Amino acid sequence: MPFELVNTELPDVKLVQPKLFHDDRGYFTETYRNSDFKKIGIERDFKQDNQSFSLKGTLRGLHFQNPPYAQGKLVRVVKGSILDVGVDIRHDSPTFGKYVMRELSEDNHLMLWVPEGFAHGFLALQDSIVLYKATSEYNRESEGGFIWNDESVNIKWPDINKIISEKDFQFPDLAHINSKFHYGANL
Catalytic residues: 63, 132
- Give the DSSP letter of residue 116: T
Q: Are 147 and 162 in contact (CB under 8 A)?
A: no
Q: How far is it, in rounded angstroms, from Cα 182 to Cα 90? A: 5
Residue-wise over 98-108: b if at least 16 C-beta within 10 A, else e?
Answer: ebbbbbbbeee
Q: Which residues, including other chains, have CB under 8 Å from residue 187's CB and lie 6 or more apart?
A: 67, 70, 116, 117, 181
